[in-house]
């Protein structure tokens, strides 16, 4: 019997059932996808790093190297399993030509390497260790991804010819956020070409016990070993590899949380409306002694059926979609070992969605208990107290037209029901505004200040200290340049709280010329001040106002922390100060330049990179677009998609809501028509309801977007290394165009949803 | 006598092609201004349908309805609504009130459309009518907080708000006990004295006995008519007897 009742009910409300099912399906799809992706990501990542034997500790070093001293350190330290020094031949990117493309514009440090013997292997796309023959070259996977080259292309590196034999996965440098890229060639070719670039050393260790990495790092530093370059650990490699797919998963999780909420809302709202509809019937059933749980069963069964169908549908769709989303992951990291497990996880995900829905429906149905037989049969409505609504009296209304008044009064009278629609509109507003604000924020030029880069036009970076004077002389005499500063980076020792010493890279120079954004405090302004990147501040346990001790040529110097900033450069571990020091050797120098005429930037960049071929000259816009460009464009795409999705949700939910209200309120509509209200009066009343709810929704949604949304977006950006930022809001789009789009969507849906009201026949519906 | 409403060979059928039934089978009626007409007939004879047809609430299968010289079958939804709002009043068998409005708001509802500037005047009029029908104290009550009879009186107030030319009542006293019923009929008589035409559907000889004319319906046709003298509050027993005799004759 239940089957028949449920089936009849579903047939009677096809549109509502279908919409609810679609929301459930989308929610289930997203949850399942997120589960599948998380599992595959962690699986593939583990497989890649296991096969490649990723180093646990890697110190990059340029300059002289004392291999004997390193070897003796390795022998003495009991935690070391294996140790190797890898040569990385830095090649000027302009000297690398792949097929028809030159890498001249690449901001990556591109270089050559041979296959390692013990660990840190470079792998082919099937996950095997590559054995490379003479004349062959293997190219980092990212150059396949952006279509720079393909297998069989001719590659010319500093004049020597190679054939692109394949692509490689590099477990340490795959990510676009890691600034170096290794090309693989044979040992013979490497020996031949060695003099055409500068050698950088990767000093690598695998440990017996990775959990003791902290002690190992301290031991390495205190032994005073080679350290002229970034230090990287296994954990950091893992993070870098996971970040881009991780971001995608984070976005999917966020969207799925919202869609799940919307699915719940639409269930709640159809259910409440249904209960209101069936109020009298429920009362009658109660009166004739049918048990409450039997009545509940009917409702529960219906929603269980909808939820089950929706979940299964969503799961199937997620299986169809997973390929597209896994594509990037599979390319960069390879297939996960047991991808069947991922599907099991997906099933568990949708099972949770299903059970949550059933539990939720069960919770909403608790309301049955409150239905009293007398009320239900006599009035067919519940006697909930309407305190606020009471104050709204038509005889005292002077403010609105009667139709608008009736619309707004209805919203206040049935807050529960409209709260559901409100929630959906709040979420839609949120989904429209947050990605848009995020896009505005990161696409603005000043955003790079949050990443530790000042607002200049051009940077020239060099490791050869002797030639700085030449550069400065040329720049100083260039009349097109309005401002420039010279920043030198040196390594000092810092005393940590437990008395040991660690290396710290400090950028010395005038930091007021091209200011960056400080999350706390300000830039150093006096000789005895220093500012720290947030990662350094965390690791050293320093806050603004604290004093820290630097060791400079054996002498201690006290410096006060003046501020903390976010940084994505140099692995995020930097510091800034302006004291003068002539004793310590310079690691690198950066000259930051601003032109008075911005249109000159392109030609100047070319001119200077030709002139100072020993240095790395880059246009800041290019620098930003290569590091952040793909993120900006994907956020832009996401924000367009978000607008479309939110508007569709708004239209569907409003339409559903209006259709249902009209169906429920045929009696009231018939009364009003009998009393002489026109069809357009009635449509105005319904439009007032939805527009009123919309206005409240837009206000709440915008407030929420600028508070909670900003926090969420900050957290997302923080995963890049930037700490705090506030939204750059474009008032025209955020406070005018977006609400306008919502308004149009809601009015359109209301008009469509209430078009049936004119067809309601008075005599048929007034009999009740 | 000027006719306020003329129904001309009204046909109303329900059902689809093969299974069509004429619920109104060529009914013609004329009602004079200020006249009190009662309609009697067995259940299912088409009384309510006739009322809906005459007030323009329902479309006709055939025939015409002329209200104050206007053909209601030919004018638009807007004009029709306006006529109902300004010129007609309705009282239904069951109280028909909006759930979420209190008593007085329900009463003023049709008068307030596009007229909020006059709200104080309208409210004052509503209160006067409420006192007149004996529900003066229930202004702010919810419709669920008063009795069926009180609700029916509120319905009468609502029908009177716009000073209509004619009031249609579909068994307005059907749900009431005889004391309440008599009170309400006194009010109807008074209204009629003041010049408002009445058309009441009723089963009750006591109600019909107050009218000027009784039409008897059977199977969608008017089968008989009984003319009475204008009721002046006297001789009610005699009138009831006359009606009862006629009812027996027609077979109700
Ligand atoms: N929408 C409809 N569809 C089909 N038949 C209908 C419809 N409305 C009314 N009828 C039929 O038309 C006939 C007349 O109905 P109507 O409501 O006019 O009767 P009535 O004379 O008012 O009866 P009662 O005294 O019981 O109120 C009835 O037989 C009824 O079944
Ligand atoms: Mg009837």
| A36 three-state secondary structure | helix
The pLDDT assigned to A764 comes to: 79
- CA proximity to A551, closest of A485, A593, A503: A503
Q: Which of B78, B98, B123 sits opposite A668 (nearest CB)?
A: B98
Touching check for B81 and chain A: CB below 8 Å? yes
Q: Measure A39 CA to nearest chain B CA, in Å.
A: 53
Is residue B18 exposed (0-12), middle (13-18) or buried (19+ Cβ within 10 Å)? exposed
CATH of the domain at B128: 3.40.50.300
pLDDT above 70 covers a percentage of chain B that reads 100
Minimal CA–CA distance to A447: which of A241, A239, A635, A703? A635
Question: In chain B, what residues touch A394 (CB-CB under 8 Å)?
Answer: 101, 104-105, 108-109, 112, 119
Structure tokens at A65: 């190297």
For the stretch B33-84, pLDDT in tens is: 999 999 999 999 999 999 999 988 888 899 999 999 899 988 988 898 899 9
On the 0-12 / 13-18 / 19+ scale of CB atoms within 10 A, A26 is: buried
Which residues, in sequence order, are CB contacts of B152 under 8 Å at separation 6+? B91, B95, B172, B173, B175, B176, B180, B184
Question: Residue B40's closest CA among B199, B189, B180, B163?
Answer: B199
Q: Note the pLDDT of residue A426.
A: 92
What domain count does chain B have? Answer: 1
Q: At what angle do helices A415-443 and A402-413 cross, to 10 degrees?
A: 100
The tokens describing A119, both together, are 């660990």
Residue A473: exposed, middle, or buried by beta-carbon count in 10 A (0-12, 13-18, 19+)?
A: exposed
Q: What is the DSSP letter of A178?
A: S
CB distance B111 to ligand 1 below 6 Å = no
Question: What is the distance in angstroms between the CA of the first residue and the CA of the last residue of chain A?
Answer: 26
Query: How many other C-beta atoms lie within 10 A of the C-beta of residue A401?
Result: 18
Tell whether the torsion through CA atoms of A392, A393, A394 and A397 is positive or negative. negative
| A387 contact B CB<8A | no
**Chain B CB contacts of A398 below 8 Å:** 116-117, 119
Q: If you count them, how many residues does chain B have?
A: 252
Q: Are A196 and A158 in contact (CB under 8 A)?
A: yes
Cβ–Cβ under 8 Å, residues A357 and A265: no
Residue B20: band (very low, low, confident or very high) from pLDDT cuts 50, 70, 90: confident
Count CB atoms within 10 A of the CB of residue A294: 10
Distance of CA B252 to the CA centre of its chain: 21
How far B109 CA lies from chain A's nearest CA (Å)? 8
Query: What whole-number distance in Å separates Cα of residue A736 and Cα of residue A268?
Result: 31
The three-class DSSP label of residue A529 is strand
Q: Give chain A positions within 8 Å (CB) of B140.
A: 390, 393
pLDDT of A511-558, one tens digit each?
A: 888 888 887 889 999 989 999 988 788 878 888 999 998 888 778 889
Q: Which residues of chain A make contact with B98, given a CB cutoff of 8 A?
A: 668, 671-672
Structural domain span for residue B107: 3-249
Break chain A into its structural domains and give their ranges.
1-63+228-383, 82-207, 400-446+626-768, 465-614
Burial (CB count <10 Å: 0-12, 13-18, 19+), residue A574 = buried
Which bound ligand lies closest to the C-alpha atom of B24?
1
The answer to whether the CB of B44 is under 6 A from ligand 1 is yes
Instruction: Give the nearest ligand 1 atom to B46 CA.
Output: 18
Q: Nearest residue CA, atom 19 of ligand 1?
A: B44
The minimum-distance atom of ligand 1 relative to the CA of A764 is 1
B49 CA → ligand 1 middle, Å: 6
Please, which pLDDT band fits residue B245 given cuts at 50, 70 and 90?
very high
Sign of the Cα torsion A430, A432, A436, A438 reads positive
Q: List residues bridging with B213 in a β-sheet.
A: B37, B227
Provide the 8-state DSSP code for A165: E
Cβ distance A127 to A134 under 8 Å?
no
Kindly give the interhelix angle for B119-133 and B103-112, rounded to the nearest 10 degrees: 130
Asked if residue B148 lies in contact with residue B174, where contact means CB atoms within 8 angstroms, the answer is no
Residue A479 gets which letter from DSSP? T
- CA-nearest of A644, A653, A601 to A22 is A653
The Cβ of residue A52 has, within 10 Å, a number of other Cβ atoms equal to 23
* B47 Cα to the center of ligand 2, angstroms: 6
Pick the closest to residue A424 from A763, A59, A749 (CA basis).
Answer: A749
Q: Is the C-beta atom of B152 inside 6 A of ligand 1? A: no
Distance CA A451, CA B91 (A): 75
Nearest CA in chain B to A378: B144
pLDDT value for A742: 92
CA A593 – CA A479 distance, rounded (Å): 12
Which residues of B are less than 8 Å from A396 in CB distance? 119, 123
Ligand 1 neighbourhood includes B12 CB (under 6 angstroms): no
pLDDT on residue A631: 66
Distance (angstroms) between ligand 1 centre and the Cα of B44 equals: 5
Ligand 1 atom closest to B41 (CA)? 21
Write down the pLDDT at residue A205: 95
Mutate to test the interface with B, among A386, A395, A672 (most CBs of B within 10 A): A395
For ion ligand 2, residues whose CB falls within 5 Å: B 48
Supply the pTM of this predicted model: 0.72
Q: Write the residue in B78, B90, B112 that is nearest to A394 by C-beta.
A: B112
Give A517 Cα–ligand 1 centroid separation in angstroms: 79
In A141-257, the DSSP E strands lie at: 154-157, 160-170, 180-184, 198-207, 231-233
Give the Cα separation of A95 and A103 in Å (integer): 8
Residue nearest to atom 17 of ligand 1 (CA): B48
**Å from CA of B202 to ligand 2 middle:** 9
Q: Which of B77, B86, B108 faces A394 most closely, judged by CB atoms?
A: B108
Nearest to A328 by CA among A144, A171, A170: A144
Which residue puts its alpha carbon closest to atom 6 of ligand 1?
B14
SS3 assignment, position A140: strand
Chain B residue numbers touching A283 (CB-CB < 8 A): none
**pLDDT tens-digit series, residues B83-132:** 999 999 999 877 788 888 889 999 998 888 877 778 888 899 999 999 98
pLDDT the model gives residue B113: 82
DSSP A234-270: HHHHHHHHHHHHHHHHHHHHHHHHHHHHHHHHHHHHH
Residue of B nearest to A761 (CA): B58
Tokens representing B93? 């068998």
SS (H, E, C) chain B: CCEEEEEEEEEEEECCHHHCEEEEEEEEEEEECCCEEEEECCCCCCHHHHHHHHCCCCCCCEEEEEECCEECCCCCHHHHHHHHHHHEEEECCCCCCCCCCEHHHHHHHHHHCCCHHHHHHHHHHHHHHHHHHCCHHHCCCEHHHCCHHHHHHHHHHHHHCCCCCEEEEECCCCCCCHHHHHHHHHHHHHHHHCCCEEEEECCCHHHHCCCCEEEEEECCEEEEEEECCCCCCCCHHHHHHHHHHHHHHHCC
Give dist(CA A410, CA A415) in Å, integer. 8
- Residues in chain A closer than 8 A to B168 (CB atoms): none
C-alpha distance from B101 to closest chain A C-alpha (Å):
8
Residue corresponding to tokens 């249902």: A660
CB–CB of A425/A698 below 8 Å? yes
Cβ neighbourhood burial of A702 (10 Å; 0-12, 13-18, 19+): buried
**Which of B94, B110, B118, B128 to mutate to test binding with chain A, by most A CBs within 10 Å of its CB?**
B110
Contact A507, A573 (CB under 8 A): no
B11: β partners: B25, B62
Ligand 1 contacts CB of residue B20 (under 6 A):
no
Residue nearest atom 2 of ligand 1, based on CA coordinates: B14
Counted across chains A and B, CB pairs separated by less than 8 A come out at 108
Q: Establish whether residue B48 lines the binding site of ligand 1, counting it when its CB lies within 6 angstroms of any ligand atom.
A: yes
The confidence score (pLDDT) of residue A719 equals 59
Instruction: Assess whether the C-beta atom of B189 lies below 6 angstroms from ligand 1.
Output: no
Instruction: Return the pLDDT at A378.
Output: 59
- Interface contact flag, B84 A676, Cβ < 8 Å: yes
Q: What is the CA radius of gyration of chain B?
A: 18
Q: Whose CA is nearest to atom 24 of ligand 1?
A: B43
Strand, helix or coil at A199?
Answer: strand
* Ligand 1 contact via B202 beta carbon (within 6 Å): no
- What's the rounded Cα separation, in Å, for the pair A726 and A450? 10
Other Cβ atoms within 10 Å of A741 Cβ, number: 16
Q: What is the pLDDT of residue A374?
A: 66
What residue ranges of chain A have pLDDT lower than 70?
Answer: 1-3, 5-6, 176-177, 244, 247, 371-391, 398, 445, 568-572, 626-631, 634, 717-725, 767-768
Is the CB of B13 inside a 6 Å radius of any atom of ligand 1? Answer: no
pLDDT of residue A479: 84
Please tell me if the CB atom of residue A764 comes closer than 6 angstroms to any atom of ligand 1: yes
């Amino acid at each position: 019997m239940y089957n028949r009742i449920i089936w009849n009910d579903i047939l009677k409300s096809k549109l509502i059932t279908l919409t609810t099912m679609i929301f459930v399906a989308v929610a289930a799809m997203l949850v399942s996808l997120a589960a599948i992706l998380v599992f595959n990501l962690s699986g593939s990542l583990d497989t890649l790093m296991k096969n490649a034997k990723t180093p646990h500790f890697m110190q990059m070093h340029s300059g002289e190297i004392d291999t004997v001293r390193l070897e003796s350190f390795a022998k003495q330290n009991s935690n070391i399993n294996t140790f190797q020094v890898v040569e990385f031949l830095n090649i000027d990117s302009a000297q690398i030509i792949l097929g028809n493309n030159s890498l001249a514009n690449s901001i990556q440090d591109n270089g050559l390497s041979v296959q390692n013997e013990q660990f840190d292997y470079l792998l082919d796309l099937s996950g095997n260790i590559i054995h490379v023959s003479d004349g062959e070259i293997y190219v980092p996977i990212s150059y396949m991804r952006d279509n720079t080259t393909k297998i069989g292309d001719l590659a010319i590196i500093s004049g020597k010819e190679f054939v692109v034999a394949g692509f490689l996965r590099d477990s340490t440098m795959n990510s676009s956020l890691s600034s170096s890229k290794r090309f693989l060639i044979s040992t013979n070719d490497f020996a031949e070409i060695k003099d055409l670039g500068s050698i950088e050393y990767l000093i690598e260790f695998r440990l017996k016990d990775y959990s003791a990495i902290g002690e190992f790092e301290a031991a390495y530093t205190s032994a005073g070993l080679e350290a002229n370059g970034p230090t990287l650990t296994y954990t950091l490699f893992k993070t870098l590899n996971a970040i881009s797919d991780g971001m995608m998963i984070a976005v999917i999780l966020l969207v799925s949380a919202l869609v799940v909420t919307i699915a719940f809302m639409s269930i709640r709202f159809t259910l409440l409306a249904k209960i209101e509809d069936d109020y009298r019937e429920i009362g009658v059933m109660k009166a004739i002694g049918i048990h409450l749980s039997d009545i509940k069963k009917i409702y529960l069964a219906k929603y269980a059926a909808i939820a089950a169908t929706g979940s299964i549908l969503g799961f199937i769709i997620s299986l169809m979609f997973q390929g597209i989303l896994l594509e990037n992951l599979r390319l960069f990291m390879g297939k996960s070992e047991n991808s069947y497990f991922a599907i099991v996880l997906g099933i568990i995900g949708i099972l949770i969605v299903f059970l949550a829905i059933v539990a939720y429906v069960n919770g909403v149905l608790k309301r049955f208990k409150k239905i009293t037989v007398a009320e239900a049969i006599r009035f067919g409505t519940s006697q909930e107290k309407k305190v606020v609504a009471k104050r709204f009296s038509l005889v005292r209304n002077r403010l609105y037209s009667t139709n608008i008044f009736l619309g707004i009064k209805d919203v206040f009278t049935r807050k529960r029901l409209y709260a559901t629609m409100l929630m959906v509109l709040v979420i839609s507003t949120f989904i429209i505004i947050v990605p848009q604000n995020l896009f505005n924020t990161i696409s603005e030029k000043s955003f790079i200040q949050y990443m530790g880069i000042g607002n200049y036009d051009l940077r020239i970076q060099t490791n050869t200290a002797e030639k700085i004077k030449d550069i400065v002389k040329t720049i100083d005499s260039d009349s097109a340049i309005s401002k420039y500063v010279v920043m030198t980076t040196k390594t000092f020792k810092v005393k940590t709280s437990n008395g040991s010493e660690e290396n710290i890279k400090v950028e010395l120079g005038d930091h007021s010329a091209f200011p960056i954004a400080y999350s706390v405090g300000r830039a150093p302004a006096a000789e005895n001040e220093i500012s720290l990147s947030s990662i350094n501040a965390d690791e050293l346990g320093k806050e603004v106002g604290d004093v820290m001790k630097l060791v400079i040529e054996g002498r201690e110097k006290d410096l006060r922390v003046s501020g903390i900033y976010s940084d994505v450069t140099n692995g995020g571990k930097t510091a800034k100060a302006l004291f003068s020091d002539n004793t310590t050797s310079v690691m690198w120098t950066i000259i930051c330049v601003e032109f008075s005429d911005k249109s000159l930037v392109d030609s100047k960049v070319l001119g200077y990179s030709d002139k100072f071929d020993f240095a790395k000259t880059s246009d800041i816009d290019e620098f930003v677009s290569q590091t952040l460009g793909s993120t900006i464009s994907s956020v832009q795409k996401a924000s367009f998609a978000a607008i479309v999705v939110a508007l569709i949700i708004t239209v569907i939910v409003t339409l559903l809501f209006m259709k249902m209200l009209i169906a429920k309120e045929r009696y009231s509509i018939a009364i009003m028509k009998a009393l002489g209200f026109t069809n357009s009066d009635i449509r105005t009343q319904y439009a007032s309801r939805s527009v009123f709810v919309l206005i409240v929704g837009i206000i709440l949604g915008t407030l929420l977007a600028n508070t909670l949304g900003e926090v969420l977006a900050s957290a997302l950006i923080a995963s890049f290394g930037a700490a705090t930022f506030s939204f750059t809001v474009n008032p025209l789009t955020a406070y005018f165009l977006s609400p306008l789009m919502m308004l149009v969507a809601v009015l359109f849906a209301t008009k469509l949803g209430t078009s049936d009201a004119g067809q309601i026949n008075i005599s048929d519906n007034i009999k009740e | 006598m000027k006719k306020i409403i003329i129904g001309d060979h009204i046909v109303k059928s329900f059902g689809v092609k093969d299974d069509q039934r004429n619920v109104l089978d060529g009914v013609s009626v004329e009602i004079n201004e200020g006249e009190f007409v009662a309609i009697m007939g067995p259940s299912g004879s088409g009384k309510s349908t006739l009322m809906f047809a005459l007030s323009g609430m329902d479309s006709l299968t055939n025939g015409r309805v002329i209200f104050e010289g206007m053909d209601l079958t030919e004018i638009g939804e807007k004009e029709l609504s306006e006529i109902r709002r300004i010129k007609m009043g309705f009282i239904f068998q069951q109280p028909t009130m909006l759930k979420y409005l209190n008593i007085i708001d329900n009463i003023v509802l049709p008068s307030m459309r596009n007229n909020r500037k006059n709200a104080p005047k309208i409210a004052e009029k509503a209160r006067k009518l409420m006192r007149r029908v004996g529900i003066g104290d229930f202004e702010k009550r919810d419709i669920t907080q008063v009795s069926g009879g009180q609700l029916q009186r509120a319905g009468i107030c609502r029908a009177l708000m716009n000073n209509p030319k004619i009031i249609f009542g579909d068994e307005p006293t059907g749900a009431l006990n005889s004391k309440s019923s008599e009170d309400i009929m006194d009010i109807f008589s008074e209204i009629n004295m003041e010049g408002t035409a009445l058309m009441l559907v009723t089963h009750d000889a006591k109600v019909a006995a107050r009218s000027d004319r009784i039409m008897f319906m059977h199977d969608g046709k008017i089968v008989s008519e009984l003319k009475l003298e204008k009721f002046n509050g006297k001789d009610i027993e005699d009138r009831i007897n006359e009606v009862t005799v006629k009812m027996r004759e027609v077979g109700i």
